Amino acid sequence: MIDFLIVGAGIAGISFAEIARQNGRTVVLVDDYSTNSSRIAGGLYNPVILKRFSEVWNAKLQLDFSIPFLKEIERKLQTQFLYELPVLRKFASVEEQNNWFVACDKPSLSSFLSTEIIHKTYQSITSNFGFGQVFHTGYVEISILMDAYINYLKSENAFLNETFVYNQLAIESDFVVYNDISYKQVVFAEGFGLRNNPFFNYLPLDGTKGELLIIKAPLLNLDVVLKSSIFILPIGNDLFKVGATYNWEDKTDLPTEEGKNELIDNLKELIDCEFEIVKHFAGVRPTVNDRRPLLGTHHLYKQLHILNGLGTRGVMLGPWLANGLFESIESKNDLDPNITIRRFDKRFGIKK
């Protein structure tokens, strides 16, 4: 009998698969590539919410676990996908500078924010008020991570490239059967695909569509991630990721002219050189209204679990949450009230 069937090969599902394997458990991961929010994500990790100069919830705990974990996967797969890179927040006014210094004095942020304003000149970028630097930042090329890890699982006969069919899951008292194979547990990590999951689709996952561009700009000489109303992320060979939009109404993963034009308008406010659009991506982020993830075990079926709602911060959240869920399943301990799906029981009339 296999220990875990994992549905979804984004950063959440891959993280859980690796943690389970590191703990001597057997896994099979199934995915049909229909949900692509992980694959097209910017992949940034940053412990500070730069719109408000506030700390990401449990940022230090997330970074302390997730970055070494991802580095270990790099070593194991002999594939680089993790890049440490400074993030600079462009200041638009003296008021923003002052707000930055106020944030620097907060104990929860002091280790993440530089107290010096950077006045470095970057080609094709004008900044009269300078930049603030965030420490412990970088990005993950998630598509490279996914492809490398899926190939690794394929070599172990532990990956199924197919659509998961929910009504073919037979739930027994202490295990489940899927395609005539028995599993002790199932972990659903489908991202926005949760809406099709009959066991967990009652949960309030409210997807947020995001669009990104890859541009070619030979006259844009950046060696940092630049953050303003959008981010510009250098990925080599004069190419840059530019993102992202936020659309709470459109739940498709189709790129739109509206999204592209919004990014272009914001980009032209930030840089003054010519650029060429090389690619245009879109995906639906798995977001929750209370900005907390969805973890836990089904109230009726103890073999079914969920790992979802990572939102825009999957690089930091995914490994850390996957480890928390694994420990909860193995030890039967309660999860943090901020992240457990039990926080919605009363709303949906579920009795504990």
27 located within any domain: yes
Region 235-242: what's the mean pLDDT? Answer: 96
Residues 6+ apart with CB under 8 A from 346: none
Whether residues 231 and 200 fall in one domain: no
Residue with tokens 């901020």: 338
Does the predicted model carry a pTM greater than 0.75? yes
Segment 60-101, tens digit of pLDDT: 999 999 999 999 999 999 999 999 999 999 999 999 999 999
- Measure the CA–CA gap between 241 and 237, rounded to whole angstroms: 12
36 falls in which pLDDT band (50, 70, 90)?
low
Region 121-132: what's the mean pLDDT? Answer: 93
Residue 313, pLDDT above cutoff 80: yes
Residues 6+ apart with CB under 8 A from 55: 47, 48, 49, 106, 108, 109, 112
Give the model's pLDDT for residue 352.
65
Whether residues 272 and 213 fall in one domain: yes
Whether residues 150 and 276 fall in one domain: no
Give the model's pLDDT for residue 312.
86
Whether residues 119 and 215 fall in one domain: yes
Tokens standing for residue 298 = 């089904």
Q: How far is CA 8 from CA 28, 75, 191, 206, 318, in A?
A: 11, 23, 8, 18, 13
The range of the structural domain enclosing residue 13 comes to: 2-43+143-205+289-344
Percent above pLDDT 90 for the chain: 91
Residue 220, pLDDT above cutoff 90: yes
Give the model's pLDDT for residue 44.
94
Whether residues 212 and 279 fall in one domain: yes
- Measure the CA–CA gap between 133 and 50, rounded to whole angstroms: 11
Looking at residue 236, which CATH number applies to its domain? 3.30.9.10
136 falls in which pLDDT band (50, 70, 90)?
very high
CB neighbour class for 118 (10 Å; exposed up to 12, middle 13-18, buried from 19) = middle
Name the residue among 193, 152, 142 with its Cα closest to residue 306: 193
Whether residues 193 and 295 fall in one domain: yes
Give the model's pLDDT for residue 332.
86
Whether residues 301 and 274 fall in one domain: no
Residue 33, pLDDT above cutoff 90: no
Residue 182, pLDDT above cutoff 70: yes
Tokens standing for residue 3 = 């220990």
Which of 255, 270, 285 finishes a domain? Answer: 285
Percent above pLDDT 70 for the chain: 99
Greatest alpha-carbon pair distance for the chain in Å reads 66
Residue 132, pLDDT above cutoff 90: yes
Total number of domains constituting the chain: 2
Average pLDDT of the chain is 95
Segment 183-211, tens digit of pLDDT: 999 999 999 999 999 999 999 999 999 99
Residues 6+ apart with CB under 8 A from 114: 104, 132, 133, 134, 135
Looking at residue 8, which CATH number applies to its domain? 3.50.50.60
Start-to-end CA span in the chain (Å): 29
Name the residue among 343, 332, 339 with its Cα closest to residue 61: 339
SS (H, E, C) the chain: CEEEEEECCCHHHHHHHHHHHHCCCCEEEECCCCCCHHHHCCCEECCEECCCCEECCCHHHHHHHHHHHHHHHHHHHCCCCEEECCEEEECCCHHHHHHHHHHHCCCCCCCCECCCCECCCCCCCCCCCCEEEECCCEEECHHHHHHHHHHHHHHCCCEECCCCCHHHEEECCCCEEECCEEEEEEEECCHHHHHHCCCCCCCCECCEEEEEEEEECCCCCCCCEEECCCEEEEEECCEEEEECCCECCCCCCCCCHHHHHHHHHHHHHHCCCCCEEEEEEEEEECCECCCCCEEEECCCCCCEEEEECCCCCHHHHHHHHHHHHHHHHHHCCCCCCCCEHHHHCCCCCCCC
Which of 252, 285, 318 finishes a domain? Answer: 285
Give the model's pLDDT for residue 35.
67
120 located within any domain: yes
